[in-house]
């Protein structure tokens, strides 16, 4: 067991690594060299990465890939994706290629409102609190002018502040429920700064409000924080075509394919066990774009899954139907994304990713990201209702297995050829490697 260490964050990077080597890697002579292998040779760039977060000892790489051929609102895109799962980029690219000849993807931002809340307790007459709120509301806006000035110049700012009575859920609990427009910024720092000032204004003004008793003047702020549930920061994307333009085979006609596809989506809409895996597949595509563009994929994940439960039951984020011989597949999802601030102006690959997309604003990035999720889901359902998910997935996973066994270039060439006509399983790959080596 490692000893407790004090002042670890103040140690140099070399000293941090020495401490780790002594207490955690003492039996691994390669540990330090592995950490150093992933340092960037450009010292200035490495220093930048070191300063993104605390206690940085190395860099953790993810593949930075691209998925071409996306036709979105009649404009062609090559989408950057940062992800380690082997089949995701291939699946997205395949879906993009399929739909580019059928009108491509349509996407639309429905709304861009973000939410923050000041949570507080108040012991007194709720009617008096409501009157107090009405009288002091202009001061909330006035006292954050120094924070909102630049955002307002860009077309954003505070759009509303409401007092919400939650005492039926928790005794004495109220909140300021605040709406914001942050334009091209994700806006977390902006929102939280406004909320903390609202909290100060609330408590200060309460002390001077004549209608309050001494007890009522003692409002207690519990916390002030933005919400990652953003059901009003919403984007939709869809594809559609005539049923006879869908895939067909000896096993499934185009109509049978469409009907089976719709049934698969219905199952994800009604069965939570399926819906979770279904939506995870959607997020494979979305998270990859969110990471590549320097946005917060944890916030996006949390908001998406909350939205999937908005009707009281966890359900699919995508929907499909057939009407008048037209097949339609769509998604509606909250995506609070930014193209300015944070890593977008610091991380070189993030800047490159945004350049690759034509330097989109936040609304355009919302559309592109939603499309990536829809494409990913289309590819997954297509596999599930036809060949099964493992055939394509394991073929993509083949290279990972070969690398686990340090396969040579020649061995890889022979085994890739072999598995073009044979099913990929871990045990079969091992068997074939051993045969080659004998």
Determine the 3-state secondary structure of 373 from DSSP: helix
Half-sphere exposure (Cβ direction) of 53: Cα atoms closer than 13 Å:
7
pLDDT at residue 395 in the model: 59
For residue 411, pLDDT beyond 90: no
Cβ neighbors of 332 (< 8 A, separation 6 or more) are 110, 234, 235, 236, 317, 319
Query: Rg for the chain (alpha carbons), in Å?
Result: 27
> What stretch of H or E contains 180?
strand 173-181
The mean pLDDT value of the chain amounts to: 94
Chain-centroid distance, C-alpha 269: 21
- Active-site residue list: 85, 280, 296, 393
- The angle that helices 272-292 and 348-356 make with each other, rounded to 10 degrees, is 100
**The pTM is what?**
0.89
- The correct answer on CATH 3.90.770.10 for the domain covering 64-111+231-386 is yes
CA distance 269 to 131: 44
Q: What is the CATH number of domain 114-226?
A: 3.30.70.420
Q: Which of 110-119, 138-147, 412-421 has the lowest mean pLDDT?
A: 412-421
> What stretch of H or E contains 234?
strand 233-242
pLDDT one-digit tens code per residue, 27-38: 787 999 999 999
All structural domains of the chain with their residue ranges: 8-50, 64-111+231-386, 114-226, 393-437
Q: Which of 123-137, 386-400, 419-433 has the lowest mean pLDDT?
A: 386-400
pLDDT one-digit tens code per residue, 247-267: 999 899 999 999 999 999 999
Cβ neighbors of 436 (< 8 A, separation 6 or more) are 411, 414, 415
Cα-Cα-Cα-Cα dihedral sign, residues 339, 345, 350, 355: positive
* Confidence band, pLDDT 50/70/90 cuts, at residue 235: very high
pLDDT at residue 101 in the model: 94
CA distance 386 to 219: 61
Determine the 3-state secondary structure of 7 from DSSP: coil
* Confidence band, pLDDT 50/70/90 cuts, at residue 392: low
């Amino acid at each position: 067991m490692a000893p407790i260490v004090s002042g670890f964050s103040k140690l140099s990077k070399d000293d941090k690594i020495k401490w780790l080597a002594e207490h955690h890697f003492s039996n691994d002579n390669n540990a330090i060299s592995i950490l150093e292998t992933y340092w960037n040779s450009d010292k200035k760039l490495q220093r930048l990465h070191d300063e993104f977060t605390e206690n940085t000892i190395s860099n953790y790489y993810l593949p930075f890939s691209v998925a071409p051929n996306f036709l979105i609102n009649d404009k062609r895109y090559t989408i950057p994706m940062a992800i380690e799962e082997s089949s995701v980029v291939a699946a997205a690219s395949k879906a993009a290629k399929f739909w580019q000849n059928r009108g491509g993807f349509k996407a639309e931002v429905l709304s861009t409102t973000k939410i923050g809340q000041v949570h507080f307790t108040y012991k007194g007459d709720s009617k008096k609190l409501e009157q107090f709120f009405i009288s002091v509301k202009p001061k909330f806006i006035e006292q954050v002018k120094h924070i909102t000035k630049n955002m307002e110049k860009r077309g954003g700012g505070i759009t509303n502040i409401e007092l919400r009575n939650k005492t039926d859920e928790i005794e004495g609990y109220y909140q300021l429920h605040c709406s914001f427009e942050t334009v091209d910024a994700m806006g977390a720092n902006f929102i939280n700064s406004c909320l903390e000032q609202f909290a100060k204004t609330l408590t200060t003004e309460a002390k001077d409000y004549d209608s309050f008793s001494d007890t009522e003047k003692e409002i207690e702020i519990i916390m002030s924080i933005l919400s990652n549930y953003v059901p009003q920061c919403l984007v939709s994307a869809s594809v559609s075509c005539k049923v006879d333009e869908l895939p067909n085979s000896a096993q499934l006609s185009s109509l049978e394919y469409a009907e089976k596809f719709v049934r698969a989506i219905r199952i994800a809409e009604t069965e939570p066990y399926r819906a979770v895996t279904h939506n995870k597949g959607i997020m494979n595509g979305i998270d990859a774009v969110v990471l590549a563009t320097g946005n917060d994929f944890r916030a996006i994940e949390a908001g998406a899954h909350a939205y999937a439960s908005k009707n009281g039951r966890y359900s699919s984020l995508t929907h499909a139907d057939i009407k008048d011989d037209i097949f339609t597949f769509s998604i509606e999802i909250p995506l609070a994304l930014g193209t300015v601030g944070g890593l977008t102006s610091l991380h070189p690959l993030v800047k490159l990713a945004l350049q690759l997309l034509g330097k989109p604003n936040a609304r355009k990035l919302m559309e592109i990201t939603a499309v990536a999720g829809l494409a990913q889901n289309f590819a997954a359902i297509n596999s599930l209702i036809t060949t099964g998910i493992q055939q394509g997935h394991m073929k993509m996973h083949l290279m990972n297995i070969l690398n686990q066994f340090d396969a040579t270039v020649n061995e890889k060439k022979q085994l890739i050829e072999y598995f073009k006509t044979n099913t990929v399983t871990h045990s079969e790959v091992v068997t074939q490697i051993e045969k080659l080596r004998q």
